[in-house]
């Protein structure tokens, strides 16, 4: 399984801090998003937001990044700390 986590506004929009996606359903970050969008139309719309960023195992990545079972994939809005 691929562990998927959400932060900040996205976490609240989805009403959920995280979930799992089968590695059989997704081989890239973009496909993880697609698999999550299949659950629910609202999820699909929120995840379609172009400003969302993605990290795999704590490294920032692009949507074509290859994911595998055991990876931690995080989706979140642009950061606003400091």
Residues that bind other proteins (CB under 8 A): 5, 7-9, 11-12, 55, 58, 74, 76-82
Question: Least distance from C-beta 72 to other proteins, angstroms?
Answer: 9
Question: Least distance from C-beta 28 to other proteins, angstroms?
Answer: 20
Edge to edge, what strands does the sheet with 18-21 contain? 18-21, 2-6, 72-76, 53-56, 59-61
Nearer to other proteins, 34 or 76 (CB): 76
Nearer to other proteins, 50 or 80 (CB): 80
Task: Provide the 10 A C-beta neighbour count for residue 1.
Answer: 13
Nearer to other proteins, 12 or 38 (CB): 12
Question: Least distance from C-beta 49 to other proteins, angstroms?
Answer: 12
The Cα 64–Cα 43 span in angstroms is 20
CA distances from 5 to 56, 67, 82 (A): 10, 14, 22
């Amino acid at each position: 399984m691929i562990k998927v986590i959400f932060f900040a506004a996205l976490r609240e929009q989805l009403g959920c801090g995280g979930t799992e996606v089968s590695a059989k359903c997704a081989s890239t970050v973009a496909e993880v998003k697609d698999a999550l969008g299949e659950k629910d139309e609202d999820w699909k719309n929120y995840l379609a937001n172009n400003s969302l960023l993605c990290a795999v195992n704590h490294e920032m990545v692009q949507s074509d990044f290859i994911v595998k079972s055991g990876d931690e994939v995080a989706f979140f809005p642009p950061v606003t700390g400091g």
